[in-house]
Amino acid sequence: MKFLRPRLQPIDVQSAALWGVAATTTALWIVQPFDWIKKTFLEKPEAEGQ
């Protein structure tokens, strides 16, 4: 008997993306690198020599 390979359905892609977002959110919640994020992305870099 030949086993049929299931085709990739759009719901599978959506589910994988949702799990990825959930895993990333959980990792950020556990680590909570808010100081690093604020320093890296939100604060303006100070000009050197002033």
The CB-side HSE value for 32 (13 A sphere, CA atoms) comes to 2
Number of other residues whose CB lies within 10 A of the CB of residue 22: 10
Question: Which tens digits make up the pLDDT trace of 22-48?
Answer: 999 999 888 888 888 788 887 776 665
Q: Between 22 and 49, name the one with better pLDDT.
A: 22
Convert the pLDDT of each residue in 1-27 to its tens digit.
667 778 889 999 999 999 999 999 999
Report the chain's C-alpha Rg in angstroms.
21
pTM given for the model:
0.55
